[in-house]
Amino acid sequence: MKLLVSAMETSSNIHLKELKKHLSDDIEFVGVFDKELGKPLYDLTTLAIMGIVDALKKLRFFFKLRDELVLAAKDCDKVLLMDSSGFNLPLAKKLKATYPKKDIIYYILPQAWAWKPKRVKKLEKYCTKLCSIIPFEKEIYNNKEKIIYVGHPLLDEISAFKKNLTSSKKIAFMPGSRKTEIKNHMPIFRELAKKIPNKEHILIIPAKFDKKYIEKNYGDISDFTISIQAHKTLQDSEYAFICSGTATLEAALIGTPFTLSYIAKKIDYFIGSRFVKLNFVGLANIFFEKMGKNQIHKEFLQEEVTVENLLSDYNTMDKKLFFEKSQILREYLKSGSSQNVAGIIQN
């Protein structure tokens, strides 16, 4: 079987690698994905975008890529779309128009529950099966037969969870995976590390980044121990400072207390804040609010992201309470996502 895949985000490809373990060996990936999984049309690092301004600059290229994927789908049996709704929804529309009988499976759905709820109708119209990783997501869909909660993939991908809180003397720093995130956070993280003495400061860097990329975007990292193993480092660390994203949910599930921070381009943040109607940006906090519980960790955004604020949260957080809540979160989300999606693809 040939499977057209559109997985453009780093996090999507982590989920895709886990999914591949449950797929038959004769399934060949075609399209956009991590080069470790086959022969993609493009290297993922050329596709990464951050915010609206960056997306507009690459608009012509993405139209070209969409057409290439539609053409490639001709020889594929099924389609798998993962996250990246700005690209994958228009792609789904064109695929449906070109191949009306071809199965189109969407895994890691657009967050229509957070903003742009009109995308629900498009997803139901263009896709054959909608694989949800958010327990409450199904509530906003009309076609209950088309959408299924498959469990959260992180629970399949994290190999070990903390059994108790320990003082390891290790602090993890995760400044994000996009250029803007890294450049905005690293100066603050460097200064913050100096304010927390007698600890090993570990900087987690995505394995895909080469030496030249790291030197250009991270700046001076001489005071940090470098790690490319996010989950293991979070398991070993007693605390973490993390740029908003999937990593915050990983830390929450593992049981590592952390502080969330996020600095976007001012224009992107202004536009986003007008459309996204949520009280929190961290997924763990969003889940806890849905359960009718108080937030599990603090969030600092934009101008709030200062050395003083992050340090204060580190010193005052009730880490025992955080750990107790992390166990509740694991029970809420459930596991088995990758195996369930593999079954849908191969059915």
Per-residue pLDDT tens over the stretch 233-286: 999 999 999 999 889 999 999 999 999 999 987 777 666 666 667 789 999 999
* pLDDT the model gives residue 202: 98
3-state secondary structure 63-98: HHHHHHHHHHHHHCCEEEEECCHHHHHHHHHHHHHH
Percent above pLDDT 90 for the chain: 80
The rounded distance, in Å, linking the Cα atoms of 26 and 64 is 29
- The Cα-based distances of 118 to 34, 91, 115, 161, 248 in angstroms read 30, 17, 9, 37, 28
CA-to-CA dists, residue 52 to 12, 27, 49, 202, 347, angstroms: 20, 35, 8, 31, 38
Interatomic CA distance for residues 44 and 32, integer angstroms: 7
For the ranges 33-42, 50-59, 214-223, 255-264, the lowest mean pLDDT is seen at 50-59
Distance separating alpha carbons of residues 167 and 21, to the nearest angstrom? 35
Q: What is the pLDDT of residue 1?
A: 96
HSE-CB at 315 with a 13 A cutoff on CA atoms is 10
Summarised one tens digit per residue, pLDDT across range 166-178 is 899 999 999 998 8
Domain at 2-149, CATH class: alpha beta
Question: Which residue type is seen at 265?
Answer: K
170-333 topology per CATH? Rossmann fold (3.40.50)
Closest by CA position to 7, among listed 36, 46, 38, 44: 44
Dist. CA 231–CA 242, nearest whole Å: 13
Helix axes 246-254, 319-333, angle to 10 degrees: 100
Common-topology check for domains 2-149 and 170-333: yes
CB 42 within 8 A of CB 64: no
CA distances for 302 relative to 182, 278, 320, angstroms: 14, 16, 28
Largest pairwise CA distance in the chain: 62
What residue spans define the domains of the chain? 2-149, 170-333
Q: pTM of the full predicted structure? A: 0.83
Coil, strand or helix: which one is 277? Answer: coil
Q: What are the C-alpha distances in Å from 95 to residues 11, 266, 341? A: 24, 35, 20
Tokens of 139: 């509530």
